[in-house]
Homo-oligomer: A and B are copies of this chain.
Amino acid sequence: MTALDPTAGPPAAAQPAAAPPAVAPSPAAQAAAGAALRVRRLGIDTRQEAVVYLHRECPVCRSEGFEAQSRVHVRLDGASVTATLNVVTGDLVAPGEAGLSEVAWRRLGAEEGAQVVLSHPPPVGSLAHLRKKMAGGRLGPRAMEQVIGDVVRGLWSDMHLSAFVAACAGGGLDFDEVVSLSEAMVGVGERLSWGRPLVVDKHCVGGLLGNRTTPIVVAVAAAHGLTIPKTSSRAITSPAGTADVMETLAPVHLDLARIRQVVEREGGCVVWGGSVQLSPADDVLIRIERALDVDAPGQLVASVLSKKVAAGSTHVLIDIPQGPKAKVRDLEEAERLGRLFQGVGRMVGVHVDAVVTDGSAPVGRGFGPALEARDVVAVLMNEPDAPQDLRDRSLFLAGRVLELDPAVPRGEGLARARELLRDGRAWRKLQAICEAQGGLRAPPVAPLQHTVEAGHTGRVAELDNRMLGRVAKLAGAPTSPSAGLELHVRRGDVVGPGQPLFTVHAESKGELAYALEFAAAQADLVRLEERA
């Protein structure tokens, strides 16, 4: 190289050894590959999207042309992540530092003071499929595999994921694509096999407050002799998820080997699905769908069935609650969804039975982990005042699950389920499952309880599901397992002044006050209609 321009003179940069770069702090040799920065753990939870925080004056920002929201490749020894850049002014990070969000820190296996090298990320091939899908194209099985593979590797930003979910919603996925998506999601996770011809499962597509049928259905099915390895979720927006409820009765955080032992011994289990990575892609997509408040049929079916295939299920009962305020509003839509489940199930090798159930009102009496567990146990113990609606729903579903067994004739499942419940075998089975999972325990009772009474005579005209759930959460559910709300009335009951409407359960005075204060401000939490 020679400087030909007379105004320049021989540039110092032409002899890099003699004059080290004045601006770029790293050796010039690192220029193409990126430059090293000291990592700092900022403790910021950005969910699955890795974020790196660089100072505006960071030389790497400038030399690489990075700007806020650029995608940046971060390497630490053998590990690497593709992260979204947040540019920082002030003293949060120094110009020579790279702040990392929690997921970036974890994926890199970083330690304080380690050096990372930043560079432009390698091209992400699967984003071409995203663009094709946005343009209205169809994705074949191979493209779907690449998409899901890169999603799980964290190469897509939340904005990419969001665009993908939107492009796939609303009939954006045809039948073959739902099958490909399901299979691609199975392909990136763990996959269990049980060495048995019949492994059953049940799944409810839409959350109904208090609808805690799972432990009862598992108990009945396992008591009958079926294999039913059930993985459940924790609460997301409700005061309790099935895993939270079950945890007040037994440990639910089991690894795969332990789950296998429990199921070998008792035929069933009810564990937290988060402890086994059955469908890591689904964990990502569900978070996006929740943020967008969208749950398109194709994605719902792929999400559920991919988890069932991964869990080694051969037969699945899908519960589709339908009602004016449920996820599925009308009957025709519910039946169409059921048929899609069955069709895709056939292609991915799972037999699906789908039932449409009443989704118009909350189920049971308690809302919160221990309170729901009490309802479950009351049903299983045949207590005379056990909530009838929970009992009826559970028996109906359990009957349909039993009919997945070729030995149980169609139409006889319900009677068989009723028998297993009535004679105590279902309750003994749940106790045995709890023991196998690490020990049966009594659901805790809240130290603080306060009952709200009716101020006047009236008929219970309306129970506000959403607000009742919110009171339970303000009282501490599900973090405080004994907290929640216990309902003493059903819609249509007639109450007089001083008669109890509901009891708030809490573990601390502050939370009790907080929940009661909020409840008092909600006029229609329990709406009493005065009679003429």
Could you tell me which A residues sit within 8 Å of B by CB distance?
A: 1-5, 7-8, 11-14, 16, 19, 21-24, 28-29, 31-32, 41-47, 53, 56, 62-63, 65, 68-69, 86-92, 102, 127, 130-131, 134-137, 157-160, 162-167, 169-172, 237, 287-288, 291-294, 296, 445, 447-453, 470, 473-474, 479, 498, 500, 503, 506, 508-514, 516-518, 521
A23-B511 in contact (CB<8A): yes
Q: Which residues of B contact A29 (CB under 8 A)?
A: 517
B1-A127 in contact (CB<8A): no
Least CB distance from A262 to B in Å reads 30
Most central of A41, A162, A287 by chain B CB within 10 Å: A162
Task: Find the B residue at minimum CB distance from A521.
Answer: B32
Give bound CA distance, A293 to B470, whole Å.
Answer: 40
Least CB distance from A234 to B in Å reads 11
16 A-B pairs besides A21-B510, A44-B92 with CB distance below 8 A are A2-B451, A11-B449, A31-B517, A32-B521, A42-B90, A43-B89, A45-B56, A45-B87, A46-B69, A63-B514, A89-B102, A130-B292, A134-B169, A135-B170, A136-B171, A167-B169
Q: Can you list 18 contacts pairing A with B, beta carbon distance less than 8 Å?
A: A5-B450, A11-B512, A13-B450, A16-B513, A21-B511, A21-B514, A31-B513, A44-B87, A45-B56, A45-B68, A45-B86, A45-B89, A69-B291, A131-B294, A137-B170, A159-B159, A159-B162, A162-B163
Give bound CA distance, A127 to B473, whole Å.
Answer: 25
Give bound CA distance, A88 to B169, whole Å.
Answer: 32
Task: Find the B residue at minimum CB distance from A102.
Answer: B89
Partner of A135, one of B3, B169, B445, B473: B169
Give bound CA distance, A319 to B510, whole Å.
Answer: 65
Copies in the complex: 2
Q: Which residues of B contact A5 (CB under 8 A)?
A: 449-451, 503
Give bound CA distance, A503 to B2, whole Å.
Answer: 10
Partner of A509, one of B12, B159, B508: B12
Q: Which residues of B contact A46 (CB under 8 A)?
A: 68-69, 86
Q: Which residues of B contact A287 (CB under 8 A)?
A: 69
Known contacts A43-B90, A136-B170, A167-B167: does B448 contact A157 (CB below 8 Å)? no
Give bound CA distance, A416 to B203, whole Å.
Answer: 75
Give bound CA distance, A293 to B124, whole Å.
Answer: 12
Known contacts A13-B516, A158-B159, A448-B8: does B24 contact A511 (CB below 8 Å)? yes
Least CB distance from A162 to B in Å reads 4
Q: Which residues of B contact A508 (CB under 8 A)?
A: 22-23
Task: Find the B residue at minimum CB distance from A23.
Answer: B510
Task: Find the B residue at minimum CB distance from A71.
Answer: B291
Q: Which residues of B contact A23 (CB under 8 A)?
A: 508-511, 514
